[in-house]
């Protein structure tokens, strides 16, 4: 569960590689709105033009990847002379494994690892472009204080932010919240998410952007001036049937000076670990070693972070057993 995350793109890429991917038999209808926007597709584009834009964007990004990654990614998405005529992912895996003389299982593992790296790099490109066109989103976070309540009745997140305006007339800010589901769950958690503004603004334009992420805007109570400091608070709620991954992280896409996190458990997990600036794809990789954090007698853990690095994940994860 993250306030914002590039794991969304990884989920998009995994979905796209299934079936024809971006092979010559693909259709624009298979391209998600998020990927279309990322590739510069507009409402005026025809289906053919939209598909061409997306395919060319992927070809450019893939060509810029280091080492053997271009060929691995080409096989994943059905791009290039070797793979573009193969409609099924299984066919492309067969071709790739034959070329590199490896097993199908190894080919699939290489592909998964390549997609993770690809998602990180494309996210960086996207954030850099957004920062350029929107002047670093016109604001930055001086402080974020978050309380996460993990209960049998569901999960509730209370987020209190102090922001600093970096533009002359800031009236709203664009935000997002991600709820990646457990791999064995068939429920889409983002459809069950409730978002409320506790103070400092109104929630508008709530939109499901991906299978994990919900985007929304916060209309401020007044227009902010350059350098003005402003406080707001938002509440996120999920019912118990929303089976999400067991972690909470903040992944800042704007400058963030400090982040204070408290997580309170009704049922105590066996282990809680602190994530102090890790790659988003590594948040649920338990091979990655992270320091354990003690649960106090009230069932609470606390973590404090300073001078957060953009696009890195900060928070905690927990597990049973």
Q: In this structure, is residue 283 part of a structural domain?
A: yes
Measured distance CA(297)–CA(292) in Å, rounded: 16
Kindly report the length of the chain.
321
Which residue, of 77, 104, 132, is where some domain finishes? 132
- State the pLDDT at residue 165: 94
User: Residue 141's domain spans which residues?
Assistant: 134-319
**107-120: average pLDDT:** 88
- State the pLDDT at residue 133: 39
For residue 93, give the nearest of 78, 81, 80, 113 by alpha carbon: 78
Tokens standing for residue 254:
């704007």
174 and 265, same domain (yes or no): yes
Report the DSSP beta bridge partners of residue 176: 215
The separation between CA 186 and the C-alpha centre of its own chain, rounded to angstroms, equals: 19
Which residue, of 132, 156, 186, is where some domain finishes? 132
Which residue, of 104, 132, 160, is where some domain finishes? 132
**283-310: average pLDDT:** 91
172 and 302, same domain (yes or no): yes
96 and 163, same domain (yes or no): no
Q: In this structure, is residue 1 part of a structural domain?
A: no
- Residue owning tokens 């992912």: 89
Structural domain total, the chain: 2
Choose between 267 and 255: higher pLDDT.
Answer: 267
Instruction: State how far the alpha carbon of 225 is from the alpha carbons of 127, 137, 164, 166, in Å.
Output: 24, 14, 9, 8
152 and 276, same domain (yes or no): yes
**304-321: average pLDDT:** 88
Measured in Å, how far apart are the chain's first and last C-alpha atoms?
Answer: 20
- State the pLDDT at residue 130: 46
If DSSP codes are grouped into helix, strand and coil, which group holds residue 75?
helix
263 and 158, same domain (yes or no): yes
Instruction: Quote the DSSP letter at residue 2.
Output: B
Region of poorest pLDDT, from 63-72, 130-139, 219-228, 283-292: 130-139
Is the pTM value of this prediction over 0.85? no
């Amino acid at each position: 569960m993250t306030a914002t995350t590039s794991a969304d793109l990884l989920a998009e890429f995994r979905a796209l590689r299934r079936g024809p991917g971006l092979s010559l038999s693909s259709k624009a209808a298979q391209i998600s709105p998020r990927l279309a926007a990322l590739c510069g597709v507009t409402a005026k584009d025809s289906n053919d033009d939209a598909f061409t834009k997306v395919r060319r964007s992927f070809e450019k990004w893939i060509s810029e990847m280091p080492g053997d990654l271009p060929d691995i990614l080409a096989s994943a998405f059905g791009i290039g002379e070797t793979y573009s005529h193969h409609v099924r992912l299984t066919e492309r895996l067969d071709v790739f494994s034959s070329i590199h003389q490896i097993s199908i299982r190894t080919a699939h593992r290489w592909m998964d690892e390549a997609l993770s790296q690809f998602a990180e790099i494309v996210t960086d490109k996207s954030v850099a472009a957004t920062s350029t066109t929107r002047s670093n989103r016109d604001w930055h976070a001086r402080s974020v204080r978050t309380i996460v309540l993990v209960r049998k009745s569901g999960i509730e997140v209370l987020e209190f932010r102090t922001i600093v305006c970096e533009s002359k007339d800031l009236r709203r800010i664009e935000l997002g919240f991600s709820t990646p589901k457990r791999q064995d769950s068939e429920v889409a958690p983002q459809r069950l998410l409730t978002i409320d503004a506790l103070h400092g603004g109104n929630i508008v334009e709530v939109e499901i952007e991906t299978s994990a992420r919900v985007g929304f805007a916060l209309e401020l109570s007044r227009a902010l001036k350059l350098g003005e400091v402003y406080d707001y608070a938002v509440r996120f709620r999920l019912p118990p049937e929303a089976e999400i991954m067991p972690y909470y992280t903040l992944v800042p896409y704007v400058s963030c000076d400090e982040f204070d996190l408290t997580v309170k458990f009704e049922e105590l997990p066996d282990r809680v670990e602190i994530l102090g600036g890790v790659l988003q794809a590594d948040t649920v990789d338990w091979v990655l070693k992270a320091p354990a954090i003690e649960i106090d007698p009230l069932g609470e853990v606390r973590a404090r972070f300073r001078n957060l690095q953009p696009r890195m994940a900060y928070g905690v994860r927990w597990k049973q057993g």
